[in-house]
Amino acid sequence: MDIRERVRAILRALPEGVTLVAATKGRSAAEILEAVEAGVKIVGENYVQEAERKHAVVSREVSWHFIGHLQRNKVRQALRIFDLIETVDSAALAREIDRVAGETARVMPVLIEVNIAGEPQKSGVLPEQLEGFLDQFANLPNLAVRGLMTMGPPVADPEDIRPWFRKMREMRDRLRDRCRENISMDLLSMGMSDTWKPAVEEGATLVRVGTAIFGPRN
């Protein structure tokens, strides 16, 4: 199968309400365009500069999601390219996005990255800190929280990730009841090449798939 066929196969398998994000780090603009021709509507990039180069070539008709670790000094560049930042993981980053978005009278949609398994080396807000974290967004009028994102812990068997994804879904549902003006919980980004199927079954609305579309990374 080539890129187009793999995209079509995944799109056919996704139920309504779930959107494929093609994770394109390390892939060329030509590869991305193949995926877009086959129906990809959202491109996910991990690095701002890499995304800038490709954005200049691929910008038509697709949304761009930032899915990497965003440094505060890259926020201005990032806001020029991306339609959604999936990985807000600190109050300092949230404040900086709010500040820069405010300069252009823009409201920037974001997801909160959750470190669902509490892995020490991983970024993301810890589940038990999430409510307190969200309380700070009341003072950030130029940010709109649209939901949650997680990488999830590494697992040997894709089925082993299911309880973590379920926990994400339950947390999202609980937070839904406490939504405020600039906080909604309609998006849940979880699942990658090996795990997008259990993720969809557990309620993902965005799945981020790289290798299963483009083949192994070198």
State yes or no: residue 111 binds ligand PLP (CB under 6 A): no
Residue 145 pairs with which residues in a beta bridge?
110, 183
Q: Which of 110, 114, 148, 209 is close enough to bind ligand PLP by CB under 6 A?
A: 209
Of 5-13, 156-164, 170-178, 209-217: span binding ligand PLP (CB under 6 A): 209-217
Cα–Cα–Cα angle for 115, 23, 140, nearest 5°?
50
Contacts with ligand PLP in 45-74 (CB under 6 A)? 46, 67
Residue closest to ligand PLP (Cβ): 210
Q: Which of 4, 25, 76, 166 is close enough to bind ligand PLP by CB under 6 A?
A: 25
State yes or no: residue 23 binds ligand PLP (CB under 6 A): yes
Nearer to ligand PLP, 53 or 106 (CB): 53
Tell me the HSE value of 51 on the side-chain side, using a 13 A CA sphere: 27
Count the site residues for ligand PLP by CB under 6 A: 12
206 Cβ contact partners less than 8 Å away, ≥ 6 residues apart: 18, 19, 21, 42, 65, 86, 149, 187, 188, 189, 190
Q: Which of 62, 97, 192, 206 is close enough to bind ligand PLP by CB under 6 A?
A: 192
DSSP 97-153: HHHHHHHTT--EEEEEEB-TT--TTS-SB-GGGHHHHHHGGGG-TTEEEEEEE----
Of 48-56, 91-99, 168-176, 203-211: span binding ligand PLP (CB under 6 A): 203-211
